[in-house]
Amino acid sequence: MVIIPAMTNSNLEQVTVTNLCHAPSGLRVDAATADRVVLGHHRSRPTLSWILPAGWANAQQSAYQIVAASSLDGLLSQPDLWDSGKVTTAQSLFVPWGAKPLTSRQYVCWRVRVWDELDVVSQWSESAEFEVGLLKTSDWSAHWIAAPGEPSLDHRPCPQFRRTFNLDQPVTSARLHVTARGLYQIHLNGRCVSSRDALTPGWTDFDRRVHALTYDVTEQLNNGNNAIGAVLGDGWYYGMGHLGSFMRPQDLGIYGKTPQLLLQLEIMLADGSTQRIVSDEHWKCHEGPIRYSSIYNGEHYEAAFETPGWTQPDFDDAAWQEVACSALEPQTNVEPKPMPAVRGIEERSPISVTRRAPGRFIFDLGQNLVGWQRISSPGRRGQKITIRFAEMLLDNGELYTENYRHARSTDELTPAADGPITWTPAFTFHGFRYVELSGLAPNVEPSPDMVTAIVLHTPMQKIGSFTSSHAKLNQLQSNITWGQRGNFLEVPTDCPQRDERLGWTGDAQVFCPTSCFNYDTLAFWRKWLIDLADSQREDGALPHVAPDIMNRSWKKRGERQKDYAAAGWADAGVIVPWEVYVRYGDRGVLEQSYPMMCRWVDFCARQANDFILKQAIFGDWLQPYPQTFAPDNTWDARKGDTPEELIATAYLGQVSGLLARVARVLNKHEDAVRYLSLRDKVRQAFIATFFDGNGRLTVPCPTQAGYLLALGFDMLPEKMRPAAVENLVKLVHEADDHLRTGFLGTPLLCPVLDRFGYSDLAYTLLLRETYPSWFFSINQGATTMWERWNSYSKADGFGDARMNSFNHYAYGAIGQWMYERVAGLAPDPEQPGYKHIIVRPVPGGGLTHAAAELQTLYGRAVSAWRREGADFKLQVVVPPNTSATVTLPDGSTPHRLGPGEHQLHCRLS
């Protein structure tokens, strides 16, 4: 036992310490992990989180102490920013910053120690560091710069910008703050500053806010002459107008016609003075070798336009043009990016290569993915190499690209000399499994190392895993995670390959719980919820997609903005914040989104007629075997048979009830009463309109989805539910024990059947091999989730190419049931963030084992079971500072467990 003095200015004189090797870990500032210095943080009042010491596996926290300083030396001696003292609480997540609000550029170093329930104190944690970015637009003295003139539709080379500057003494620190309307790459003295990031600064509603990133460039500056350079691409700012059936080529430039750069380099010199280099009229520009770039259509690179050494100080730029310069508008929010930029996460090599013709080859990566290709091949001067992409092959072995619709998704590379070339695009991305190279010399022999795939997505820590004794169930989990990776690129896109790639709200809300298990998506969802709030109409209506590119297109054409208020889609504005809160315990996500949530539900209440709402628009999207529409009525057939007013009213009941729960969490008690009353009135109207007294739907075409919405959202009184369940089961049996559900009904299917005593039927549907089912696509070779249950079949070929993505995560929502019921690891909404864990596995389907493991914000949680005959064995790991309630499948009394590893068993009949 050792006596350690308290911090110099602490109100604790001395503490008793044991287990000096044990200290808190996993320090986080807001949603950012502390595995590195967090630069450009976005909040003046952050929250801090940590995990209890690993050696305290059986412990609960009783108190904490946080200290923070403006230097590491200060942290170890006398913290000058904050000393919380000993705070008696079990809270270890999202502890509010308790000192003065932080200011732009402020550096913070902090650490924490904790006490257990026996008042034993831990060792101090390792320190964590973060640095605040430029929080206000007024912090910027830079101007927007752009290439002069307005580029045409057909000639849009990516401009290069540069300027030189001199430093007359050594540099002690330097921070580069940068953003763009468009996409940027930044170079400093011949090195790419932004090489770790891709597609920066990302996508927002550029009229409302623009995200900036911060880079530490201290080591890249010279004492003497320096040069800074930038390349701009169109990105989402200009190039989002060519969107299939929604938009036309003339809609290009939906945010603006010309990409712009905003850059501010702040340098501290050895004598304590500062120097600031900003984007302004002192820069020059020139057309670069990227002759064309487009999110949808690809990138064209002509090496003959390269200007070697253009980012070096001694480069002669006398022939370069002056830039166009404009003031930063005060109404534009330029703010630090609240999540990491997109990055290259891994590389994959082809599993095979096929010669299709002399100089033309197709490479198979073995996995449908999203990202770039790195080409390494022989090149000939002036001979264009064309690179095309596809998710699938036709029967004749050629690329299937019809489902890309108007997206050309083609890169072109023209070498300037004979010899080996290595090239990767900069300002586009593709969804693909197959890569075709053509234009190579006829005598070139194919080699797999000619193509390397670079997987791109928003960085997300892998936190969850699911395994089972069923190989196809494990493949389904792989398809779910690859679908998430492919579509969590800056926003939660519906698909990553065709002329769409938008943040569709309906897909997002059904998949959100699954996504939060597989990866740490807290920062990702928080950012997207800001996009959604930015897109909300003044009357409270929410759009189909966020950022809301679709209504911007209608507005530009002078037409009515009509893409709003779709039931099950716009309801993401309530459902996603709630689901994120349940899984991470971040009350801040509710506080951030609460005004949006209220305005949306209030809008729906006003639109309802006697509490019946009709605004479904998309219905139960892509329900198989629709019965009530003519074959040529393509749009309505996609919406399925469930009446729009049933779907919309059920969702109004659901979101008003969720909003009442949110209001209680936020201590807004009057709001809670009001929204609970709304939910009850909607329920009564729903029952009277859509059901008879025998729990039977009264609509012309009763559907599985109709019953699932009524039961899954608790729209029926308890006495009516058993009959409604029987009617649902009857419909499933009439479909030969197959699903008949689309985007909205499918996520409820297995959970509802399981909840009401039909877990065996839920397993039957989950493990079905024939159409429509999850395994059907796997049997056709799927490596990601598909948009349709039959996007392709070996017997019938490809589905309707107008709506036929092979990377579409919505049906991956089944993952939630797999993790929470098959394996049995679920959060408790009443104690969110897995503060209390519900372990309730349901064995079935012939499985002999299943396991879910999750790195919660409290630590590692596990539910893993194995069945050998009648013996059922369950391993449960409960993280420190949490508890769990375990219900075994034999129906015995639930077990209340504390932190630690536990082994339980029972006998099943």
Active site residues: 500, 787
CA-to-CA distance for 98 and 781, rounded, in angstroms? 54
φ/ψ of residue 346, rounded to 5? -155, 165
What's 533-546 look like in SS3?
HHCCCCCCCCECEC
C-alpha neighbours within 13 Å on the C-beta side of residue 218: 9
Name 716's Cβ contacts closer than 8 Å, sequence gap at least 6: 687, 691, 695, 710, 724
Tokens, residue 707:
């019953």
Q: In 3-state terms, what secondary structure has residue 804?
A: coil
User: Regarding beta strands 144-146 and 183-188, do their DSSP bridges make them parallel or antiparallel, or are they unpaired?
Assistant: unpaired
Tokens, residue 252:
């290009």
Point out which residues pair with 129 in neighbouring strands: 109
Closest residue by Cα to residue 516 from 564, 468, 464: 464
The amino acid occupying position 795 is: A
Provide the 10 A C-beta neighbour count for residue 240. Answer: 27
Closest residue by Cα to residue 390 from 239, 498, 478, 489: 498
Q: Are 453 and 344 in contact (CB under 8 A)?
A: no
CA-to-CA distance for 124 and 111, rounded, in angstroms? 7
Q: Is the dihedral of CA 832, 836, 839, 840 positive or negative?
A: negative
Tokens, residue 279:
């984007």
Q: Which residue has the tokens 């951030």?
A: 592
Q: Which residue has the tokens 């499918």?
A: 746
Provide the 10 A C-beta neighbour count for residue 393. Answer: 15
φ/ψ of residue 908, rounded to 5? -110, 150
Instruction: Classify residue 363 as left (phi > 0), alpha (psi -120 to 50) or beta.
Output: beta
User: Regarding beta strands 2-5 and 82-83, do their DSSP bridges make them parallel or antiparallel, or are they unpaired?
Assistant: unpaired
Q: How many residues does the chain have?
A: 909
